[in-house]
Amino acid sequence: MNSIHDCYTLSNGVRIPSVGFGTYKAADGKSIEILKIAIETGYRYFDTASFYGTETFVRDAIKDSGIRREDFFIASKLWKDEMGYENVKQAFARTLENLGTNYLDLYLIHWPLPAPDYEDWKTLNTETWRALEELYEEGKIRAIGLSNFLPHHIENIVKSCKVKPMVNQLEFHPGYTQEAAVRYCQERGILVQAWSPIGRGRVLADAMMLEMAEKYQVSTAQICLRYALQRGIVPLPKSSTAERMRQNQDIFAFELSQEDMYRIDTMPQTGWSGEHPDRERMKF
């Protein structure tokens, strides 16, 4: 990979850019302007979701750019209350309308459980996935996948599906690498994507991360993104300034040594969001 426009190839042959732009809480109210800047700085892969409330901002920013829809890679996700066969079909129609497009490049199930105590999640996930498969087979989605699914959740899908998941989006950053889930996916040809790829302030202020930033003469955020890239994971950073957007793209001119990769692999848990699909959210 030499730029954000270089692509991985999914298990069905669809090409997906190596770095995307996350739109969750994109500048809180200034989303369209931020997304316009993201396009101007070179981003073409945008990750949104019905829950984010940014689908219409992505639509308007792309429309105002004058760049062809086909030159963008657009991903969205269905929320917890949109799970279930019929709900998916309705949610997908709303998402297409919000995005002003007649197809998606990637569509994901946002979470495996509507709530941690939801008992019949296996049936719900199977029905939800069946709806995604139909939309995929109808040509309305180029690739389908999951988000925040752990191995036992994915196994439930795989044992009865016709089309295997192509992507799984996970919280992934130095200090929270979800090794079991990442290994499970990569061994089975499921591309892992990283939400919150630079973690939070605790990661960026970590002494070892600051030491590495000094060593490679880059920012700690760039260390985080380069780490994901070298792990074969697609980072989805978000930013509100053009300078940081460009900086987050500038991760191809240096390479972390194997020793430094091991040091990040084994650092103590740091910067976890508190989100876990099978547990109540932890508050910090």
What separation in angstroms does the CA of 118 have from each of 80, 86, 108, 123, 216? 11, 19, 20, 11, 46
Catalytic residue check, 52: yes
Residue with tokens 């129609």: 93
Q: Measure the CA angle with vertex 143, ends 228 and 83; round to 5°.
A: 95
Q: Which tokens hold the place of 87?
A: 């709900």
DSSP 28: T
Summary count for the chain: helices (H), strands (E): 11, 10
Q: At a CB cut-off of 8 Å and minimum separation 6, what does 276 contact?
A: 282
Catalytic residue among 52, 107, 176, 184: 52
Q: What is the dihedral of CA 262, 266, 270, 271, to 10 degrees?
A: 50
User: Which two tokens mark 262?
Assistant: 């091991």
CA distance 179 to 187: 12
Strands 7-9 and 15-17, sheet pairing = antiparallel
Name the percent of the chain in helix, strand, coil, to the closest 5. 40, 15, 45
Tokens 């876990």 sit on residue? 276
Per the CB < 8 A criterion, the answer to whether 174 and 43 are in contact is no
Residue type, 16: I
As annotated, the active-site residues are: 52
